Amino acid sequence: MKLLLDSTRCQGYGLCQEHAPDLVELDEWGYAKVIAVAVPPGTEESARACAESCPNSALRVEK
C-alpha cells in the first residue's frame, strides 16, 4: 500500500498530519510532505483516514 501526495492540490490545512503523524509531516508553511510512501504494516487505517481528511483530495492511498 502507498500513500501518495499531489502537492499541487495541498492547501496547507494540516488535517492529514493529525491522522497520521508517522506518515506525513508539515513544512514551515503547513504544506504536507509524505514521510513514507510505502505504508508500514499496521498503519493502513491511519493512511486511509489521512487521505480522507484532506478537503482538497491531495492525498490518496493505492494498493
pLDDT of residue 10: 97
Task: Find out whether 23 and 59 touch, Cβ atoms under 8 Å.
Answer: no
Overall pTM surpassing 0.85 (yes/no): yes
Question: Could you tell me if residue 42 is left (phi over 0), alpha (psi between -120 and 50 degrees) or otherwise beta?
Answer: left
Residues of the chain with pLDDT under 70: none
Nearest-5° angle of CA 34, CA 39, CA 41? Answer: 150
User: What is the distance between the alpha carbons of residues 43 and 51, in angstroms, rounded to a whole number?
Assistant: 13
pLDDT value for 36: 83
CATH of domain 2-62: 3.30.70.20
Parallel, antiparallel or unpaired: strands 32-34 and 59-62: unpaired
Domain boundaries, the chain: 2-62
